[in-house]
């Protein structure tokens, strides 16, 4: 990308920009969903959630976390919850910059492994994480569809 990209920590003020990027990517605005997610991210380790800015405009974000001891996941595990880039700025290395910076910050916090979950047919995200060196992990996603359960 020719223009200068600035990566910085995400704050609650970035909420409208993130809602807008998500709407552009997925089609539907989800303001309540993002409000909850971003409020929670303020209590997470510093620089676990980042935004990318070009000329003062937020064009991409990444939400990460470092886990406590839950579901057998040890403390030194980082998590990438979501990454999103404005479609007008995709394929210009923005998500790569965001994730490289997040990985740097995870390393400083003692993280040794990073997990993420991706829908099996989300090719953009799969290709992106593959390029970043992610491989299939040891855990398997289990799901129970309650709409298919008989009434008891």
Ligand X SMILES: CC(C)(COP(=O)(O)OP(=O)(O)OC[C@H]1O[C@@H](n2cnc3c(N)ncnc32)[C@H](O)[C@@H]1OP(=O)(O)O)[C@@H](O)C(=O)NCCC(=O)NCCS
Alpha-carbon distance values, 25 to 20, 21, 35 (Å)? 9, 6, 17
Select the span of 35-43, 78-86, 109-117, 140-148 touching ligand X (CB under 6 A).
78-86
The residue within the footprint of ligand X, chosen from 12, 25, 108, 117 (CB under 6 A), is 25
Joined together, the tokens standing for residue 124 give 């953009």
Residues 119-148 that bind ligand X (CB under 6 A): 124-125, 127-128, 131
Per CB under 6 A, does 58 bind ligand X? no
Question: Nearer Cβ to ligand X, position 106 or 128?
Answer: 128
Chain length of the chain: 152
The single-letter DSSP state of residue 80 is E
Per CB under 6 A, does 92 bind ligand X? yes
Per CB under 6 A, does 13 bind ligand X? no
Cα separation of 106 and 124, whole Å?
24
Question: Nearer Cβ to ligand X, position 90 or 109?
Answer: 90
Question: Nearer Cβ to ligand X, position 8 or 75?
Answer: 8
Alpha-carbon distance values, 51 to 6, 63, 64, 119, 128 (Å)? 8, 9, 11, 23, 17
Rg (CA), the chain: 16
Per CB under 6 A, does 21 bind ligand X? yes
Per CB under 6 A, does 91 bind ligand X? yes
Per CB under 6 A, does 80 bind ligand X? no
Cα separation of 74 and 35, whole Å?
28
DSSP element (H, E) containing 116: strand 113-116
Per CB under 6 A, residues contacting ligand X are: 21-22, 25-26, 82-85, 90-96, 124-125, 127-128, 131
């Amino acid at each position: 990308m020719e223009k200068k990209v600035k990566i910085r920590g995400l704050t609650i003020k970035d909420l409208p920009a993130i809602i807008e990027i998500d709407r552009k990517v997925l089609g539907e605005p989800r303001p309540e969903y993002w409000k909850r997610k971003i409020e929670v991210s303020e209590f997470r380790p510093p620089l676990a959630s980042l935004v990318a800015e070009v000329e003062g405009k937020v064009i991409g974000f990444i939400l990460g976390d470092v886990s406590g001891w839950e579901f057998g996941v040890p403390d030194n595990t980082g998590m990438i919850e979501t990454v999103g880039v404005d479609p007008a700025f995709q394929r210009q290395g923005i998500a790569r910059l965001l994730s490289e910076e997040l990985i740097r910050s995870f390393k400083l916090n003692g993280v040794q492994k990073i997990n993420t979950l991706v829908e099996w047919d989300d090719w953009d995200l799969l290709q992106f994480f593959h390029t970043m060196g992610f491989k299939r992990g040891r855990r398997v996603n289990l799901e129970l569809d309650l709409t298919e359960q008989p009434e008891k």
